[in-house]
Amino acid sequence: AQRVTQPEKLLSVFKGAPVELKCNYSYSGSPELFWYVQYSRQRLQLLLRHISRESIKGFTADLNKGETSFHLKKPFAQEEDSAMYYCALPGGFKTIFGAGTRLFVKA
């Protein structure tokens, strides 16, 4: 069964510290994974997708098929990064979202 797991509900870091938001998936086949971000209960926005291998707002994510992970990383967190982050796996006609991790960046 397809599943996305984000083990941390809340992650709190200081400004300037590195950030890693964890995401593990279960999928038979070659997955396409996304990270979405939601600021202050606004609409969810696509942050990045693994297939494009891009870096958005300093965030990157690498697909590790061996560990079935797609962790989101940023070397130096900023206060404006505080938001909810959702890892998502499209497939089987629906997109499955993880439970989300709330990132809180302290000044």
Partner 1 sequence: DSGVTQTPKHLITATGQRVTLRCSPRSGDLSVYWYQQSLDQGLQFLIQYYNGEERAKGNILERFSAQQFPDLHSELNLSSLELGDSALYFCASSVDGLTEAFFGQGTRLTVV
Residues in contact with partner 1 by the rule CB under 8 A: 32, 34, 36, 41-46, 49, 86, 88, 90-100
Q: How far is the CB of 54 from partner 1 (least distance, A)?
A: 13
CB closer to partner 1, 13 vs 96: 96
Q: Which is nearer to partner 1, 69 or 95 (CB)?
A: 95
Structural tokens at position 9: 């509900």
Q: How far apart are CA 49 and CA 70, in angstroms?
A: 10
Whole-number minimum distance, CB 67 to partner 1, in Å? 23
Going through the chain in order, the beta strands assigned E by DSSP cover 3-5, 10-14, 19-21, 24-26, 34-38, 45-49, 60-61, 72-74, 83-91, 94-97, 101-106
How many Cα atoms are found within 13 Å in the side-chain-facing hemisphere of 102? 6
Q: Strand, helix or coil at 88? A: strand
Could you tell me the smallest distance in angstroms from the CB atom of residue 93 to partner 1? 4
Closer Cβ to partner 1, 13 or 44, answer by number: 44
Residue 67 vs 94, nearer CB to partner 1:
94
